[in-house]
Amino acid sequence: MKMFKALAVAALLISGSTYAQERSVEEVYSMMVFNFTKYVQWPDHAGSGEFVIGVVGNADIYNTLNGWYGGKPRGTKTYVIKKFANASEVTDCHVLFIDKSKSSEFEAANNKVKGKGTLVITDKNGLGEKGSGINFKMVDNKLKFELNQKAIEASNLKVSGALSSMAILI
């Protein structure tokens, strides 16, 4: 049953017919970050017609996200992928992925987007408890993700029950 659930989660989050094992880590993370956007409701961001995904620290994930999804439509908005070298460069975005190589800048980056309707996604043990909305985590050599419900609520976001049911809830 556990194997079936793991495969169902992978199929739900990763589009296409190729299994995660055949993809690079950057591709898997990029697909998951993108697919998380399908299960989260954002407050109405008036103004530009852009849906911005920011990446702090990982050029490969930025390049993959930008190549695969940059410029594609999301309802009435268009996906825009932005690369930030560090927390001081972070500007408003709908999703902010902070790579484990920049985890020391988590608090500074998180503070820049706090209360602005931003889903913060991280990749380092312990950051889920510190306020990341979603945190990737390896469990028994499988990629899983934690969902911090308080952080999600504090960001004025709503997560679907389908996403919550697949997560390790914090």
Which of 133 and 1 is assigned the larger pLDDT?
A: 133
pLDDT surpassing 50 at residue 26: yes
d(CA 65, CA 31): 8
pLDDT at residue 47, rounded to an integer: 54
Q: What is the pLDDT of residues 94-111, one digit of tens each?
A: 999 999 999 999 999 999
Rounded mean pLDDT, 24-44? 92
Which residues are CB-contacts of 6 (< 8 A; sequence separation ≥ 6)?
A: 142
Domains of the chain and any CATH numbers:
25-41+48-169 (3.40.50)
- Which of the four pLDDT bands, split at 50, 70 and 90, describes residue 23? confident
pLDDT surpassing 80 at residue 6: no
Which residues are CB-contacts of 169 (< 8 A; sequence separation ≥ 6)?
A: 146, 147, 149
* 39 close to 101: Cβ distance less than 8 angstroms: no
- pTM of the prediction? 0.85
* 169 close to 147: Cβ distance less than 8 angstroms: yes
Rounded mean pLDDT, 25-39? 95
Mean pLDDT of all residues belonging to the chain: 87
* 124 close to 148: Cβ distance less than 8 angstroms: no
The amino acid occupying position 155 is S
